[in-house]
Each structure stands twice: as C-alpha cells, then as structure tokens.
Amino acid sequence: MKTVEVLLPKPFDHGFDYLVPDGVELGAGDYVRVPFGKQSVLGVVWGAGKGDVPIAKLKPIAEHFSHLPPMGDTTRQFIEWVARYTLSPRGMVLKMSLPVEESFAPKKEKLPKSKAGKKVVEELGEAFEKVDVQPIAKPPALSDAQREVTETIAARLDKGFSVTVIDGVTGSGKTEVYFDAIARVIEGRGQQAERAISPRSGSPCDSQEANHGAKQTLVLLPEIALSTQWVERCKARFGFEPLVWHSGLTPAKRRESLRAILTGEAKLVVGARSALFLPYANLGLIVVDEEHEQSYKQEDGVLYHARDMAVARAHVQNLPIVLVSATPSLETVNNLREGRYEKAHLPERHGGVHLPQVSLVDMRQEKLDSGTWVSQRLRAAIAETLSAKRQVMLFLNRRGYAPLLLCRTCGHRFACPECSSWMVLHGNKTKGQLRCHHCDHRDAVPKACPACLKEETLVACGPGVERVAEEVAALFPTARVEMMTSDTMDSLKVAEMTVQEMTEGSIDILVGTQMMAKGYHFPNLHLIGVIDADLGLQGGDLRAGERTYQLLHQVAGRAGREQEQGQVLLQTYLPDHPVMLALAAHDREGLEQLELVAREDAVLPPFGRLAALIIDGPQESDVVHACRQLSLKIPKHADIRVLGPAPAPLTRLRGRYRYRFLLRSPKRVALQPYVHEWLSQVPLPNAIRLRVDIDPYSFF
C-alpha cells in the first residue's frame, strides 16, 4: 500500500508515516486528519512515506480535506526554514499555520463522489468571483516625494524578491505610499489577467506556482488590537474592509477568515505577528509597518522576530516586501548601508506641516511638591494648550498607580510569591490592588504591614500612569481626562471608543503608556508631555538607547500633525544623555552612528550574532545541575564565546527558576549548528525546560 509522511502540529521535528486508503489520491501539501495516540489530529502531507516503520504497524489516513487547496510548496519551505533557523521542531512551526482545525472541516452537504470535484470547482469559482477587482476609491493627492516612492516600489512588484524600506518622518504619509502598492497588487496591474489553477487539484496555486493575476497582500502591524484608524483608512481607500486576524476573533470568525485565506478570497489581510504564518493561497506582497517595534519579537513557544521571518518568507516565496518606519531598527539601517535593502525616503511631513518642537525639562532643577510628578513648565504648557481649545497627551511608560508599595516603618516591600519582582500598585492604596506584571498574581492591599503589623504605614513610591492621571485631573478639574493603557483598554471595543473620542476632540487630556504611540492621528493634538523620559535608559540592555529614542520619537510624532507646529516636553534627569540630545535636535542619524560604532566595537548585532539558552525548572538545584551538565559539554570554537551560566535577571518567573547562557559570535559564523551539536550531547530530565532564543531581544 502507498504511504505518506504527515507532519503534525506537535513538538516533533519529524513527520509520521500513514497508509493512504484505496481510491484516495494524496499529494504534498494536502490537509488530512489522522489518528495519533488517542487523538484525532489535523496534519499536512509532507511527502512520500519514509518507510522507517513496517506497514503492518501503520494506521490509515482518517480524512482528506479535498475541498481545500493544498499548502503550497513555498509555504512548506518557509516552515522548514523557520524551524532550522530558530532550532524549533517543525511541528511547532506548522502549528502556527494551522490555528483553527475546525476551519478545515468539509461542508455538511453529502455529494456523490462523481459530483464532488465539480462542486469543489464551483465553490472555488464563487470564491474567485469575490476576488475579482472591486472599484477602488480615488486615491488622495500625493506629494512629489510620495509619488517618487510609489513608483520606486511599483517597479519592484511582481519582479521577485526585494526589500524596500520606506523611511519617513512621522506624518510624512508612509501609509498612503504603501496603500498604492497594495492597490496595484489587488488589482493585478502589470500582471497577466488569467489565474493559475493547479493541474493536480483544480485549486488556486500559491505564489511559486502562479506569478500572475490579482494576489494577496499581508500587512503586519505591531498592535493589531489598536488598528481601528488603520482599518478605517483602508476602507476609505479601497472600498472594502480588510480581513483582520488577531487572537480576539470568535471561533466562527476565525474559521471563516482562515477559509478565505486558504482559498484566496481574502485579498488583504492585516494582523499581528501570528498572521505571518497563515497558509496564503497566492501571496504577492508583504508589508511590515513600524518594523522597528519590539512587539514583533515572539517571546514564548517558537521564539522568532516577525520582521526577520517576514523577510525570510518573502525570499523563500520570491516576492517583494516593504518595511516601514520613522525610526528603522539598527539591523535595518545596516542592511541599507550594505546594499541588501533599498531605501525609499520621505524626509518631510505631508502638507508642509513642521515636525514638533522638542524641549528638555531638566528635572534636577525642578522643585516639585512631594507626591507630584508634573513639572511647573509642563503645567503651564498644559494650561495654555487647553485655553486654546487643543488637546494634550501625557506619556509615561509605566502601568499602574505606583511601581512599589512599602512600609515606611520597617521598609517591607511587597514581592510576588511566584516571580522575582515587586508587586505593582493599581488604583490607590485605599481602593487598589497589588499585581505582578509578569504572572498576573493579584493581592488586595492590606490595612497593616504584614511584617511589622503596623497600620497606616504603607506608602506608594514613584509614579505610574494612573497616578499621573489623578494628578492632572486635580490640576485641571474642568478638563476631561482619560487613560489609555493595556489595563484600561481591556477590549477592542473600549480601545476603539477611546480612539474615536480622541479623534473627535471630546477628550482634553489623554494619559497613557506606549499603547497610544502606535501611529495614531489625532488632528487637534498639540502638546505632548513625557514623564520620566529617561526611564527606558536604565539597565544593561544593549538596545536601551535605540528603543528609548524610537519610542519617544513615535510619541512625539503624534503632536501637531495638521495644524501649527506641535510642542513636546521631555521631563528628564539625564538632559545631557545622547538619546535626549538627539531627540531635542531631531538628529536620528547622529545617534545611529554612535550606536553602530559602539555595537561594531563590541561585536554585537547587527555586526555580531547572539543566541540565548534559557534553562528553567521548578527546583533551583535541578536547574543548577542541568546548567553544570551543559557547561561540561560546551564545544570548543575559536569564534564563539559562551557566557554563563548565570541566574537570569528575573530569576524566578511563574514559579520556575531560570538560568541563562549567552552565546556571541562574529556575523560570519552561524550559531545554529554549534548549538545543535552542543544540545545533542546533553539529555535533560523532563522537569527541566530548555529554550533556544536565536537573536534575543530581551534579556530578563
């Protein structure tokens, strides 16, 4: 009997052989359901059977989803590539491509076998009728610089792999530029009119098999739950709503959406990093907006950076990708300098609007009353802005009311019982709650100190965004003050409402965290104040300066986008720091040069490679023993330096103890083969978990 290898969305790097039932024709990429232990599992045919198990012991395929187009060759090649690069089991990468098993179930209608194929073709025909080009709204007038960039990108569409970086200041119209590219892909302009059909299944081919006709576009956003304005702009520009993919979709909506992606009906898909792995029928363009954002890094499960994997997918599938940012990552800047990427520059704001004036408030000179955080200079600027009937945004990248609650009598601090971190006070100390921002453990605020048992001795230390909102509400009692944080925006509906009210001008002062810095356009926003602007510079993170500049530049870019020049006040205790000086002078290139020189001298990314091994377990002694065993087997390599093991900065997380190794090498040396050889020599007990993070972005 014929056998096939089926890859399953399980933690295995290999597939399993199954028997093909008589009369069933299967090929690589077909979706099937197979028995696996006591389970019935969805999988993908990966090729012919390996033959390593006797046929008598094999189980047959339980179900073939013949009504769906198979997963294309290049999609499977991309899964293989990601698995090799991240040192993850292929099955776990496949799992990200099969997010809703129910989507693969055939329709309930039973048909004679002779009519089934006809029915499939009819359904696909109906789907492609929906793909046909709809009237697209008249595009807005573009500036000369925008038109030049659109033509540059247009020349690369349907011409194979390329990476174009739209590097434009905030408010320069980057979105409209890549909307033009999306319109061309959706309409199939410059491509042949006919559609390709797979000769084997009568289904639409993916992009390596069909290089003509209208294709699909994927747009990645760093915060899909906050994409309201983007979707509205998209609807106005294209005349239809894009398919939005995110974790908050209902099961029914996820099934419907995945079917549309599988069949090619979904012409434009927007999503967070997980959308990158979906099995697109005919992908023609990828756009990564705000490509510098740290949230593109996946920190659990398969560890990957969505921007880098998006470039890899574009390369594997031989299609263009566009990276977009006002503050590109240093990795992208270096790729531009070395000629691997092409730059499309928008140096000025659209419509002749000036960039905001950025000023530093030296908090060493400020005389603040106890328990206050808004400087006199910022207070005066807020009052002046409100009197002019304009809006204010106050930014502090710290959730909660206060980062620490302690006893002023004995000094007791409230720590999380599961993590090596202090509990954060949310709400005030009389009506509040203590929360851990790592494991979400929560406790009520006690009336007395649990250490010395004295009452009325607990003190909130430092400002959180809630405390700042409380302060400005007291300073400006007639102003409408709202907050925008991940705690207050606990649903997409609430976030949409806040954005709408801010856009319409019914909010006077918006206080929030980095959530409100993600590309929003508030027409009447004039003043932005940043509390603790140097907060992100603390610690030993190699990207601390780069990230702080990017974040505060994005925050500043929300001001004065339609009217006269906006104003930004950065409250800082480090006014002479290169990052603060660069922000005040709008000198991004100067700061980039300083950072690149420092990174090159230290052989750090983008001039070197890093990999982290994170070992964790419920007992610290077992973790230490595992690290000792690993240390004894470290392979010798002249160009690779292994640091550690050492306790992670966050040594205990969710009840598990964590230790780390850090590997560093020159850029010419690939770390994956070295790590694979090393780990293959050291079997670890089941209680110990080891994760490999290639290109780590956080070091907690």
The 10 Å Cβ neighbour count of residue 49 is: 21
Percent of the chain clearing pLDDT 90 (strictly above): 71
The pLDDT value given to residue 221:
93
Q: Answer yes or no: same fold for 142-350 and 353-398+463-597.
A: yes
H helix or E strand, kind and range, residue 666: strand 656-666
Question: Residue 280 above 60 pLDDT?
Answer: yes
In this prediction, residue 558 has a pLDDT band, given cuts at 50, 70 and 90, of confident
- State the residue for tokens 């069933």: 24
The pLDDT value given to residue 74:
94
- AA letter at 674: Y
Question: Residue 114 above 70 pLDDT?
Answer: no
CATH homologous superfamily of 3-98 equals PriA, 3(prime) DNA-binding domain (3.40.1440.60)
Question: How would you write 518-555 as a 3-class SS string?
Answer: CCCCCCCEEEEEECCCCHHHCCCCCCHHHHHHHHHHHH
The pLDDT value given to residue 232:
87
Instruction: Report d(CA 267, CA 271) in Å as an integer.
Output: 13
Looking at every residue in the chain, the average pLDDT score rounds to: 88
For the stretch 225-229, contacts whose Cβ atoms lie closer than 8 Å and that sit 24 or more positions apart, written own/partner, are 225/489, 225/492, 225/495, 226/489, 226/495, 226/499, 226/515, 226/518, 226/520, 227/270, 228/495, 228/496, 228/499, 228/500, 229/499, 229/503, 229/519, 229/520, 229/521
CATH of the domain spanning 608-694: 3.30.70.600
Q: How much of the chain is helix, strand and coil, in % rounded to 5?
A: 35, 25, 45
Closest C-alpha among 12, 146, 166, 200 to residue 89: 12
The pLDDT value given to residue 491:
67
Mean pLDDT score, 85-114: 71
Instruction: Give the CA angle between residues 484, 519, 582 to the nearest 5°.
Output: 100
Question: Residue 140 above 70 pLDDT?
Answer: yes
The pLDDT value given to residue 33:
95
**Tokens standing for 75?**
């999609």
What does DSSP say about strands 39-48 and 3-7: parallel, antiparallel, or unpaired? antiparallel
Contacts of 56 (CB under 8 A, 6+ apart): none
Most confident listed range (503-517, 551-565, 586-600): 586-600
Q: Where are the alpha helices (DSSP H) in 298-420?
A: 306-317, 330-337, 376-387
The pLDDT value given to residue 225:
59
Per residue in 634-655, pLDDT (tens digit) is 999 999 999 999 999 999 999 9
The pLDDT value given to residue 668:
95
Per residue in 374-409, pLDDT (tens digit) is 999 999 999 999 999 999 999 999 999 999 999 999
**Tokens standing for 347?**
């140096």
In this prediction, residue 266 has a pLDDT band, given cuts at 50, 70 and 90, of very high
In this prediction, residue 12 has a pLDDT band, given cuts at 50, 70 and 90, of very high
Contacts of 408 (CB under 8 A, 6+ apart): 457, 458, 459
CATH of the domain spanning 353-398+463-597: 3.40.50.300
Residue 330 sits at φ, ψ, to 5 deg, of -65, -30
Question: Residue 700 above 90 pLDDT?
Answer: no
Instruction: Report d(CA 483, CA 505) in Å as an integer.
Output: 15
Residue scoring higher pLDDT (102 or 533):
533
Instruction: Report d(CA 307, CA 218) in Å as an integer.
Output: 12
> Cβ-count burial of 514 within 10 angstroms (0-12 exposed, 13-18 middle, 19+ buried)?
buried
Instruction: Report d(CA 252, CA 290) in Å as an integer.
Output: 30
Which of 118-127, 234-243, 309-318 has the least mean pLDDT?
118-127
**Contact assessment for residue 647 and residue 658, using Cβ atoms and an 8 Å cutoff:** yes
**Contact assessment for residue 278 and residue 104, using Cβ atoms and an 8 Å cutoff:** no
The pLDDT value given to residue 228:
76
In this prediction, residue 113 has a pLDDT band, given cuts at 50, 70 and 90, of very low
Mean pLDDT score, 397-423: 94
Mean pLDDT score, 96-125: 49
Per residue in 25-72, pLDDT (tens digit) is 999 999 999 999 999 999 999 999 999 899 999 999 999 998 888 999
Beta bridge partners of 344: 166
Instruction: Report d(CA 159, CA 162) in Å as an integer.
Output: 8
**Tokens standing for 509?**
């002062």
Mean pLDDT score, 307-334: 97
What DSSP state is assigned to residue 65? -
Contacts of 638 (CB under 8 A, 6+ apart): none
The pLDDT value given to residue 291:
97
The pLDDT value given to residue 660:
97
Distances 533 to 174, 282, 362, 569 between C-alpha atoms, Å:
26, 45, 11, 9
CATH of the domain spanning 142-350: 3.40.50.300
Instruction: Report d(CA 633, CA 294) in Å as an integer.
Output: 33
User: Could you give the 3-state DSSP secondary structure of residue 238?
Assistant: helix
In this prediction, residue 131 has a pLDDT band, given cuts at 50, 70 and 90, of very low
**Contact assessment for residue 232 and residue 101, using Cβ atoms and an 8 Å cutoff:** no
Per residue in 142-154, pLDDT (tens digit) is 999 999 999 999 9
Domain ranges of the chain: 3-98, 142-350, 353-398+463-597, 608-694
The pLDDT value given to residue 98:
86
Per residue in 181-226, pLDDT (tens digit) is 999 999 886 443 333 333 333 333 443 333 346 899 999 998 775 5
The pLDDT value given to residue 176:
93
